[in-house]
Amino acid sequence: MNDADIYVKLTPIFHSVFDDEDIVVTPQLTADDVNGWDSLTHIRLMLSVQKAFNVRFAAADIVGLKNVEDLVRLIREKA
């Protein structure tokens, strides 16, 4: 799975978790850019991503994420 495929699959996850169809998932996207991205929605997002991509993240993996690009890299490593 390449990065473009991952972004395509991530987009509806973001739309669902944040209940916002206008979110554009880009490498630079951070929690500060999305209304309502708090610790609870972050957990929901990570659980949804793990389920969709059939991967498992360690807590240390999640803590180190700075933006969506880091998440995509993590998905690629775990897949």
What is the per-residue pLDDT across 3-27, written as a single tens digit (0 to 9) for each? 999 999 999 999 999 999 999 999 9
pLDDT at residue 48 in the model: 98
CA atoms within 13 A on the CB side of 68: 25
State the fold for domain 3-78: 1.10.1200
What is the per-residue pLDDT across 27-59, written as a single tens digit (0 to 9) for each? 999 999 999 999 999 999 999 999 999 999 999
Segment 64-77 shows an average pLDDT of: 96
Binning pLDDT at 50, 70 and 90, where does residue 1 land? Answer: confident
> Model pTM?
0.94
Domain segments of the chain as ranges: 3-78
Distance in angstroms (rounded) separating the CA atoms of residues 21 and 1 = 24
Radius of gyration of the chain (CA): 11
CA atoms within 13 A on the CB side of 56: 1
